[in-house]
Amino acid sequence: MRTFEYKTRVYFSDTDAGGIAYHAHYLDWAEHARTEMLRAIYPGKTQMQLAHEDNILMVVRSINIEYRSPAYLEDEITVLTDMEDVQHFSFTMRQRIMRGDTLLSTLSIRIAVVDNATKRPKKIPEDILRAFES
């Protein structure tokens, strides 16, 4: 899979009194990028449709985040998302939050696929695996 790019801006609500982005917003930006990536590679299926029609939830199992440099009010940032590893019941993504050429943060996110009814691990369906590979 190629790298997926998501662009956004640092808004006043993302920052502290000094205009520096609050650390939790990096997680929000990464989540927004993963959501938009899923929409791009699996068109016609929203997360709500996957949950209610296909009985599939994608839940965060673990996150490792490293902060390298701060983001500031008004910065345009790009979140780069790459698929690192796909298993039967989960997958790992690597995300980099950038301001131009400056690396602000790196994240490694393990996503578990679970059955919406039982909340037990569920094998990733073949059509989703194919979407990840495209």
Range of the domain at 62: 4-133
* Residue partners of 121: CB distance under 8 A and separation at least 6: 89, 90, 112, 113, 114, 115
pLDDT at 1 over 70: no
pLDDT single digits (tens) 10-62: 999 999 999 999 999 999 999 999 999 999 988 888 889 999 999 999 999 99
Q: Which residues pair with 110 in a beta bridge?
A: 62, 92
Which active-site residues does the annotation give?
16
Residue type, 103: L
CATH number, domain containing residue 51:
3.10.129.10
Number of domains in the chain: 1
